[in-house]
């Protein structure tokens, strides 16, 4: 696609003997989680001049400039974000962790590198999609970082880390086409559990409740952007279907269950 300012890194470039030794012992999701600390560590070791590196989950969408996040991070070595679970799902913290791996920054200094190396070692030892002995995937390892490592900063800006599991706790408003989370500008939203059925249908939030203003102010801009990207990709490869959930019987069965529970929203773009 020849995207400006994008440098592609193949898996073969950062996969070392330790990663390859456990690759076939974990699911594709678990292996992706296992690789999470290895990729930024590889880049920082390769590009010594970099001051810091940010890790982002693929299902984040930015509504504003992230500059306030980096301004808040000045002087820190490691940036992490809390789940900030809503009251009705606070119990998730015990299972999935206090912090979310969605957006992290590591300074290229002794503290940042120490943290990445420790995290990588833990993920190589154990990284599975199930809770076990105080662990879950790559994520619950973050629970004690504020005391384990120096220079850890927990993001305070409410515009970073808005997600289905916490949006009900905040006042969401649209003022002059800018989205606010209480009094903070929305910077990024985590579209956890959103599924692309095809380029016209999107299953938004299985298992969470959303208000209409959440749908129109936050979800619709994202869905429309994703739809344009799908069209662009299909212009190059009409058969590309990766990331889409096929319309098979099991998919429909799951949707019907969520309809019955009244816990889902689905957007049909042609009807909009």
What's the distance, Cα to Cα, between the start and end of the chain in Å?
A: 30
Note the pLDDT tens digit of each residue in 174-186. 999 999 999 999 9
Please, what's the b/e burial string for 105-139 (b: 16 or more CB within 10 A of its CB; e: otherwise)? bbbbeebbbbbbeebbebbbebbbeeeeeebbbbb
Question: How is the chain split into domains, by residue range?
Answer: 11-160, 193-271
Question: Highest-confidence range of 39-48, 190-199, 249-258, by mean pLDDT?
Answer: 39-48
Helix H or strand E encompassing 73: helix 67-73
3-class state of residue 177 by DSSP: coil
- pLDDT score recorded for residue 192: 94
Q: Which residue has the higher pLDDT, 62 or 246?
A: 62
pLDDT above 70 as % of the chain: 86
Q: Considering the domain 11-160 in this protein, what is its CATH number?
A: 3.90.550.10
Over its C-alpha atoms, the chain yields an Rg (Å, rounded) of 19
pLDDT band at 245 (very low <50, low <70, confident <90, very high): low
Q: Average pLDDT, stretch 89-118?
A: 98
- pLDDT score recorded for residue 246: 56
- pLDDT score recorded for residue 269: 53
Is the pLDDT score of 260 beyond 70? no
Q: Average pLDDT, stretch 24-50?
A: 97
- pLDDT score recorded for residue 200: 66
- pLDDT score recorded for residue 75: 97
The count of other CB atoms within 10 Å of the CB of residue 17 is 6
């Amino acid at each position: 696609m020849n995207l400006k300012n994008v440098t592609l890194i193949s898996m073969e470039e950062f996969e070392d003997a330790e990663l390859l030794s456990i690759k076939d012992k974990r699911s594709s999701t678990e292996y992706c989680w296992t690789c999470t600390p290895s990729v930024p560590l590889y880049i920082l070791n390769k590009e010594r001049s970099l001051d810091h590196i940010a890790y982002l989950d693929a299902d984040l969408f930015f509504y504003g400039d992230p500059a306030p996040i980096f301004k808040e991070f000045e002087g820190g070595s490691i940036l992490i974000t809390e789940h900030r679970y809503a009251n009705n799902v606070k119990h998730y913290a015990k299972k999935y962790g206090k912090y979310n791996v969605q957006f992290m920054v590591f300074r290229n200094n002794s503290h940042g590198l120490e943290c990445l190396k420790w995290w990588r070692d833990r993920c190589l030892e154990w990284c599975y999609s199930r809770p076990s002995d105080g662990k879950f995937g790559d994520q619950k390892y973050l629970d004690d970082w504020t005391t384990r490592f120096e220079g850890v900063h927990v993001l305070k800006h409410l515009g970073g880390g808005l997600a289905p599991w916490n949006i009900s706790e905040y006042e969401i408003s649209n003022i002059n086409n800018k989205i606010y989370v209480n009094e903070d500008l929305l910077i990024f939203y985590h579209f956890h559990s959103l599924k692309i059925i095809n380029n016209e249908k999107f299953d938004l939030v299985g298992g969470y409740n959303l208000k209409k203003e959440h749908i129109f102010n936050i979800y619709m801009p994202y869905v429309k952007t994703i739809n344009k990207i799908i069209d662009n990709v299909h212009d190059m490869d009409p058969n590309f279907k990766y990331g889409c959930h096929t319309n098979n019987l099991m998919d429909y069965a799951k949707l019907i269950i969520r309809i019955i529970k009244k816990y889902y929203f689905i957007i049909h773009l042609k009807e909009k």
